[in-house]
Structure 1
Amino acid sequence: MDPLTHFLDGPRAARAFALSVHMSAPWGIAVRDNAALTVLAVTKGQARVDGMLLEEGDVALVRGPEPYEVTDAAGSVPTLEIGPGQRCTTVEKHDVRDELRHGIRRWGNAKDGETSLLVGTYERPDQAGGIVARALPRLAIVRQEDADSTLVELLARELAHDDPAAQVVVDRLLDVLVVSTIRGWFDSPESSTGPTWLTCDDPIVTKALEQLHAAPEMPWTVGSLADHVNTSRASLAARFRSTVGEPPMSYLTRWRMTLAGDLLHAPGTRTISQIAHTVGYTNAYSFSTAFRRHLGLTPTEYRHHHPALSDGDGTR
């Protein structure tokens, strides 16, 4: 399995917050929902995300949890605010959920404004995939000519109805749209500053990455990894550093921390010790020490340092 396939295997929406937004100028929204990842597709008109223009047909991915603004024009001042749990208020904190709701998954200051957006939000890091959240830029835009309009149309159609199992269909369409958008972004000139390991074409390094991704719990050394890919230790170390930008064991540690972050936020009752063994540490102490060194928080602190999952029904 190539590195990009591992990367794209992350998004797993579960009762995702998704809706169709219809706005009439002037308008501005300050988004402070702490979400891990948001996909925005412009289906009519245009909008700006932190000043970057999105036109009809464009799709953007916004990596959280930092706040951002979506407005009708450059310099527009937000009058609405989206907070944790997708709670909508004015900037003065007046609740306007009912005032701006026009159906179960339709929202905005107009029933049919000159701008329409599709919005899908992955609220927790484990839903978006920690690899996605860390490797994407703050804002990744795929222009209309490279975006998958068919997926956008399918999602728009599903959001327009409240059919049985609609939420399940919305979740899966959202996952596919995110994956398609990521692929489109990596094919664009803007991705040239992205992580080189995702498009690695060195067959030896690709095989090494596959080994590390598939079995992070193994007690890897550069020597044992070299044996698995049938090359010398020195050759692997040089080629890995040249292609990926860091030594194999440094990369392995980062990969383990990424997986651990996802597991810490995933539903369930895995203990710190169980997670430690899953990602290749013999005990919770050594895992906690490595985790804090890389992320600045203990695993327990990290586990509790995210917003609560909301009900995701699109009616808030």
Structure 2
Amino acid sequence: MDPLGDLLDGVRAHTAAFCQAVLDPPWSLRICDEAPLGLAVPLRGHAWVVPDDGEPVLIEAGDVAVVQGPAPYTVADAVTTEPTVFVHPGNRLVTADGEDITMRKRIGASTNALGLGGAGSTLLASGAYQVRSVVSGRLLAALPTVLRVPREQVQSPIMDLLHAEVNRDAPGQQIVLDRLLDLALIATLRAWFARPGGDPPGWYRAHGDPVVGRALRFVHEDPARPWTVAGLAAVTGVSRASFARRFTDLVGQPPMAYLTQWRLDLAAESLRGSDATLSAIARRVGYANAFALTVAFKRVKGTTPQQFRAG
């Protein structure tokens, strides 16, 4: 798997709260659902995404915004509009005066259509993602609080499919919505990283390089192999010095530093997500024993594996 695929693997729309809201101005949604990632796209009209600490971002019809949580933020018709509805975990909808309107209008078994007006000037679709993977932290670190991709750059029919699916009432609808939201996120991030004048992270740029991209795939697919700079240079068909220089220039860190970080991220993932012993995790990610993993883990992450698991 390529690096983006690996980092996205722990980001999932699982029983996702996908919502379409018909909104007449003035309107303002306060997003307090604590989701690590949110997606918003106006299917008609426009919206402002207003983080508490950051610049407001305008999204027009068909644009896609990906917003980092879990801190609350506001989506509104104007930057100055006060919140009229608060979106809580579980897609629970509460008005500013405390009225729970979650069940006011429902389509199918799992998606809400929030009717706050008639025809409405804005039709807003939104979804939430859980990030259960420690590994995905590298992806989140590469993203701004709010990223916007214009409609013409997404070049994907996923949004149209989401719009169609949310208005259906068919068996398996939640699974379909979850998977469509996953695809929507992938399409949006691809477009954002590839945008003109963009500055994608080194690991993303390097994926397209015939030498470094191949080395990254080897490292991601088989982290336990006793890799060396010479070994990676050999499997990519270039000299050791040329490989080390090329890798460092593209990725932004030397090959062995990248390998160590990848192994320790995988170890952290296993510590949090499994009951495997430290020795088993060590062997799985390329360390000879638990002691060697503990030394590296504490040096890089500032805590022992046992403390990390307990925390």
Please classify the TM superposition score into its range, dividing by the shorter chain length.
0.7 to 0.9
Give a deviation string over 1:73-119, Cα, whole Å, max 9, x none. 12223343334444444567x36243654434124351543222221
> CA distance change for structure 1 residues 245 and 265 in 2, over 3 Å: closer, same or farther?
same
Q: Within 1, Cα distance between the matches of 2:195 and 2:177? A: 27
Equivalent residue number for residue 81 of structure 2 = 76
Provide TM-score, normalisation by structure 1: 0.80
> CA distance change for structure 1 residues 225 and 60 in 2, over 3 Å: closer, same or farther?
same
Q: Residue 108 of structure 1 is aligned with which of 105, 111, 114?
A: 114
> CA distance change for structure 1 residues 152 and 211 in 2, over 3 Å: closer, same or farther?
same
Q: Within 1, Cα distance between the matches of 2:121 and 2:310? A: 41
> CA distance change for structure 1 residues 61 and 265 in 2, over 3 Å: closer, same or farther?
farther
Kindly state the Cα deviation for residue 42 of structure 1 after the two structures are TM-superposed: 1.2
Amino acid at match of 2:72: P
Amino acid at match of 2:123: S
* Percentage identity across paired residues of the two chains: 39
Kindly state the Cα deviation for residue 70 of structure 1 after the two structures are TM-superposed: 1.4
> CA distance change for structure 1 residues 122 and 47 in 2, over 3 Å: closer, same or farther?
same
Structural mapping, 1:95-244, within 5 Å: 96-98=100-102, 101-103=105-107, 104-108=110-114, 110=116, 112=118, 113-126=120-133, 129-148=136-155, 150-189=157-196, 192-200=198-206, 201-244=208-251
Helix, strand or coil for the counterpart of 1:53? strand
Q: Which has the larger radius of gyration?
A: 2
Provide TM-score, normalisation by structure 2: 0.81
Q: Whose RCO is larger (CA < 8 A, sep 6+)?
A: 1
Give a deviation string over 1:172-197, Cα, whole Å, max 9, x none. 2112111111121122136x222033
Q: Residue 252 of structure 1 is aligned with which of 251, 259, 266?
A: 259
Aligned residues: 302
For structure 2, the 5+ residue unaligned runs are 51-55
For structure 1, the 5+ residue unaligned runs are 306-316
> CA distance change for structure 1 residues 14 and 222 in 2, over 3 Å: closer, same or farther?
same
Coordinate RMSD, CA, aligned:
3.2
> CA distance change for structure 1 residues 274 and 38 in 2, over 3 Å: closer, same or farther?
farther
Helix, strand or coil for the counterpart of 2:20? strand
Kindly state the Cα deviation for residue 45 of structure 1 after the two structures are TM-superposed: 1.0
